[in-house]
């Protein structure tokens, strides 16, 4: 890796200095060197009078989940189609002159490159508080490199980590996540602070799926890794670690060789070509240090939870949900020219399917009844009986080492034909009055549709047949207990999806299409349950793949018959089946997901032991 840092002193004077290379051992964690005295890089002298004017502090009470002031989700009075959600996309054009990575951005190519939209709250651009400071990015490419430049407004430059491959998010930082083949596997995370320190990681799979990153100082089994040929330069305009003046911004410029990025590409297709789509996202981590904390002696005491501002919101507070990232589209046209129309329409939505049955809007039941709801004949009839016996499980096509093929034996069981709906979950909330199982984003009329009032939980008109989302494993288990059911085991879920013939998808071997399932942002929101009869399993179960991830029992861990090191980490609660945002590569019925947080991608369905009813 080659690295240089430019520190602006006063009005635009640059001082470039080389950075040390990475350690070569697997244990890269080294002692920190906190700055106990203000470290000044500004040549501008400030008088005492100016000092009192320029001090600006960040409120210590601010937190990541601050709502936009006065925000409430709209409550439609009649059924209306949901507004589709699309990740941001950016057309990356070719350079028109050589790029020198020095942080200046003074080449003609950079001056003509479009800025991205301003970064927003990681979860939502509307429901959550607008970022305090502006962040935006530009990108370019040529035959050899992919280039990025990020401009970060910053009234108080803060940084202390000077050793590469340390936990740079202890400082304010900027991060790039990039998955060149878009399969949510083998993706790269790059982190940079305003001193130009670098932490580059390779993640073979998402953290919550037991992913063990390369180059992580806190993971015992982590091995060294560098993005070969990465070049970085920073231009910082202001003083470091000195809260008594007002700084301006810092700008980071970096280049990534295509040859190094191609090592993580398993698509078999050329990478640096016109029309290539790359999943990526930028994330800015900003800590709420206040003036009262200076001089900083404990860099882990940051004055409160950090903000996370991203180029493309990911609908959940978790940057490691790679399927939700934005998209970069390579254009062979020179920067400054009009992009090809075919590239601007590459992410057009397909029409949403009609609601399969008339969506009734029952009168809300008042909150208060606490008795469990018994399993009725109607509920049992909506379930499908799956024959017990010996079945083949796995392999997970993306993770055959930790999740190889094996054999299990199960008893007969019943499985819900459909995912649990908004209407059913609202009934549960009203019957039990368990407010802890309601989450405010459930009021989003485009992605869910349950609104809490003083006397009842009401369903947004037209949403009762949509799958409930924004639930966690505890919510799903509580609903199942109330309904006289239980959650599926992950083996039961896979058996229902694959059958004895070990189908690739619930409907067979044919690839997913817009007629079979809701996936990869094609529709832009969950669809009503039962909307895809062409994707129904031979046993009669709907929507097992796509639409929403389905929570099942337990947490992700290696299969008991796997030969993986038993110290391999156990991660998040298990999910199966993919969702309306999931790429084709992760829709196979044997793919093992893990909880994405309380998000618009996660729902569930229930099971029942056959002894509790005869079943179909």
Residues 405 and 500 in one domain: yes
3-state secondary structure 468-503: CCCCCHHHHHHHHHHCCCEECCHHHHHHHHHCCCCC
Region of poorest pLDDT, from 47-61, 167-181, 250-264, 573-587: 47-61
- Spell out the SS3 assignment of 313-357: CCCCCCCCCHHHCEEEEEEEEECCCCCCHHHHCCCCCCCCCCCCC
Model pLDDT, residue 485: 97
Residue 79 pLDDT > 50, yes or no? Answer: yes
Average pLDDT (188-216) is: 90
* pLDDT tens digit sequence for 409-424: 999 999 999 999 999 9
Checking 563-567 for CB contacts under 8 A at 24+ apart, the result is 563/401, 563/404, 564/401, 564/402, 565/221, 567/220, 567/221
280's tokens:
């990526």
Note the pLDDT tens digit of each residue in 235-293. 999 999 888 889 999 999 999 999 999 999 988 889 999 999 999 999 999 998 877 77
pLDDT given for residue 449 in this prediction: 96
Residue 175, in any domain of the structure: yes
Whether residue 295 has a cis bond before it, omega within 30° of 0: yes
Residue 125 is predicted with a pLDDT of 85
- In-domain check, residue 262: yes
Contact assessment for residue 330 and residue 278, using Cβ atoms and an 8 Å cutoff: yes
Residue with tokens 């936990």: 167
Based on the fold, state whether residues 410 and 479 are members of the same structural domain. Answer: yes
* Portion of the chain with pLDDT greater than 70, in percent: 83
Rounded Cα distance between 347 and 275, Å, is 12
What is the pairing mode between strands 277-286 and 173-179?
A: antiparallel
Number of domains the chain contains: 2
Plot region of 332 (φ>0 → left; ψ -120 to 50 → alpha; else → beta): alpha
Q: Are 179 and 322 in contact (CB under 8 A)?
A: yes
Mean pLDDT of the chain: 84
* Assigned domain for 547 exists: yes
First to last CA, the chain: 63
pLDDT band at 443 (very low <50, low <70, confident <90, very high): very high
Q: Is the pLDDT of residue 375 over 60?
A: no
- 327 and 387 in one domain? no
The region, left, alpha or beta by phi > 0 then psi within -120 to 50, assigned to residue 128 is beta
Q: Would the pLDDT of 9 be above 50?
A: no
Same domain, 302 and 451: no
Q: What is the pTM of this model?
A: 0.87
User: Each residue of 140-170: pLDDT tens digit?
Assistant: 999 999 999 999 999 999 999 999 998 898 8
pLDDT surpassing 80 at residue 568: no
In this structure, the answer to whether residues 218 and 267 fall within a common structural domain is yes
Same domain, 515 and 455: yes
- Residue matched to tokens 């966690």: 472
CB contact set of 308 (below 8 Å; sequence gap of 6+): 64, 121, 122, 283, 284, 285, 286, 317, 319
Residue 177 lies in a domain: yes
- 453 in a structural domain: yes
Mean pLDDT confidence for 59-70? 58
Q: Do residues 424 and 328 both lie within one domain?
A: no
Is residue 570 over pLDDT 50? yes
Is residue 94 predicted with pLDDT exceeding 60? yes
Is 68 a member of any domain? Answer: no
- 190 Cβ contact list (under 8 Å, min separation 6): 175, 176, 177, 178, 198, 199, 200, 201, 227, 230, 254
Single residue among 288, 319, 344 that ends a domain in this structure: 344
The whole-angstrom separation of Cα 321 and Cα 274 is 26
Confidence of residue 65 (pLDDT cuts 50, 70, 90): low
* Residue at 144 is within a domain: yes
Average pLDDT over every residue of 535-539: 97
Question: Is 41 among the domain residues?
Answer: no
pLDDT band at residue 11 under the 50/70/90 scheme:
very low
- Tell me the C-alpha distance between 182 and 141, whole Å: 18
CATH number for the domain harbouring residue 453? 3.90.1580.10
Does pLDDT of 174 surpass 60? Answer: yes
Which of left, alpha, beta for 232 (phi over 0: left; psi -120 to 50: alpha)? beta
Does 24 have pLDDT greater than 80?
no
Q: Does residue 388 sit in the same domain as residue 329?
A: no
Q: Per-residue confidence at 211, pLDDT binned at 50, 70, 90?
A: confident
Domain range for residue 153? 2-7+89-344
Half-sphere CA count of 320, side-chain side, radius 13 A: 24
Checking if the pLDDT of 406 tops 80, the result is yes
Residues 319, 408, single domain; the answer is no
Is pLDDT at 520 greater than 90 in this prediction?
Answer: yes
Q: What is the DSSP letter of 264?
A: G
Q: What is the CATH number of the domain that holds 144?
A: 2.60.40.1190
Helices 473-482 & 422-432 angle (0-180, nearest 10): 70
Altogether, the residues listed in the chain come to a count of: 616
Query: Do 333 and 389 sit in the same domain of this protein?
Result: no
Answer whether 58's CB lies under 8 Å from 132's CB: yes
Q: What is the pLDDT of residues 292-327, one digit of tens each?
A: 777 888 888 777 888 999 999 999 989 999 999 999
Tell me: do 230 and 283 sit in the same domain.
Answer: yes
- Residue 332 and residue 397 in one domain: no
Q: What's the mean pLDDT in 124-140?
A: 93
- 28, pLDDT greater than 70: no
pLDDT score recorded for residue 332: 96
Distance of CA 487 to the CA centre of its chain: 25
- Is residue 522 over pLDDT 60? yes
Q: Which of 53-62, 197-206, 361-370, 592-601 has the highest mean pLDDT?
A: 197-206
Measured CA to CA, the distance from residue 31 to residue 333 in angstroms comes to 47
How confident is the model at residue 429, as a pLDDT? 97
């Amino acid at each position: 890796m080659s690295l240089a840092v430019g520190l602006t002193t006063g009005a635009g004077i640059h001082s470039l200095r080389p950075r040390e290379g990475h350690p070569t051992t697997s244990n890269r964690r080294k002692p920190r060197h906190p700055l106990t005295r203000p470290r000044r890089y500004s040549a501008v002298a400030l008088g005492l009078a100016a000092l009192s004017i320029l001090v600006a502090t960040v409120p210590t009470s601010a937190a990541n989940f601050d709502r936009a002031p006065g925000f409430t989700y709209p409550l439609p009075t009649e059924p209306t189609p949901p507004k589709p959600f699309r990740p941001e996309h950016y057309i990356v054009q070719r350079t028109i002159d050589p790029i020198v990575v020095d942080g200046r951005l003074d080449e003609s190519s950079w001056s003509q490159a479009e800025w991205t939209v301003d970064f927003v709250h990681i979860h939502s651009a509307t429901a959550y508080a607008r970022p305090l400071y502006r962040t935006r990015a530009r990108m370019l490419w040529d035959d050899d490199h992919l280039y990025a430049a990020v401009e970060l407004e910053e009234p108080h430059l803060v940084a202390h980590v000077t050793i590469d491959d340390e936990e740079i998010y202890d400082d304010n930082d900027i991060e790039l996540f990039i998955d060149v083949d878009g399969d949510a596997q083998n993706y790269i995370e790059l982190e940079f602070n305003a001193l130009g320190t670098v932490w580059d990681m390779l993640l073979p799979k998402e953290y919550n799926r037991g992913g063990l990153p390369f180059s992580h100082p806190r993971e015992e089994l982590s091995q060294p890794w560098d993005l070969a040929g990465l070049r970085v330069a920073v231009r910082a305009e202001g003083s470091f670690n000195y809260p008594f003046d007002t700084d301006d911004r810092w700008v980071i410029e970096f280049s990534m060789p295509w040859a190094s990025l191609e090592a993580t590409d398993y698509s078999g297709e050329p990478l640096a070509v016109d029309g290539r789509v790359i999943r990526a996202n930028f994330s800015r981590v900003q800590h709420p240090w206040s003036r009262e904390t200076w001089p900083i002696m404990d860099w882990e005491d940051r004055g409160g939870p950090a903000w996370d501002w991203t180029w493309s919101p990911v609908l959940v507070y978790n940057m490691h949900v790679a399927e939700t990232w934005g998209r970069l589209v390579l254009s062979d046209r020179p920067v400054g020219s009009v992009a090809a129309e075919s590239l601007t329409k590459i992410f057009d939505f397909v029409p949403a399917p009609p609601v399969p049955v008339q969506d009734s809007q029952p009168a809300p039941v008042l909150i208060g009844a606490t008795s469990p709801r018994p399993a009725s004949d109607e509920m049992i009839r909506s379930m499908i009986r799956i024959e017990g016996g010996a079945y083949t499980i796995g392999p997970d096509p993306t993770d055959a080492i930790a999740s190889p093929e094996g054999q299990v034996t199960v008893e007969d069981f019943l499985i819900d034909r459909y995912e649990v709906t908004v209407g059913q979950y609202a009934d549960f909330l009203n019957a039990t009055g368990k407010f802890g199982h309601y989450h405010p984003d459930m009021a989003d009329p485009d992605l869910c549709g349950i609104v809490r009032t003083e006397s009842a939980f009401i369903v947004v008109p037209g949403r009762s047949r949509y799958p409930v989302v924004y639930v966690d494993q505890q919510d799903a288990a509580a609903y199942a207990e109330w309904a006289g059911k239980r959650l599926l085991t992950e083996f039961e879920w896979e058996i229902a999806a694959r059958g004895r013939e070990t189908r690739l998808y619930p409907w067979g071997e044919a690839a997913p299409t817009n007629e079979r399932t809701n996936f990869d942002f094609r529709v832009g929101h969950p669809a009503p349950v039962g909307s895809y009869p062409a994707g129904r399993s031979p046993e009669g179960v709907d929507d097992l793949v796509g639409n929403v991830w389905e929570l099942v029992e337990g947490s992700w861990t290696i299969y008991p018959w796997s030969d993986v090191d038993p110290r391999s980490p156990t991660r998040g609660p298990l999910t199966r089946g993919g969702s309306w945002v999931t790429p084709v590569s992760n829709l196979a019925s044997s793919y093992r997901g893990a909880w994405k947080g309380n998000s618009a991608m996660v729902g569930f369905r229930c099971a029942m032991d056959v002894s509790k009813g005869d079943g179909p």
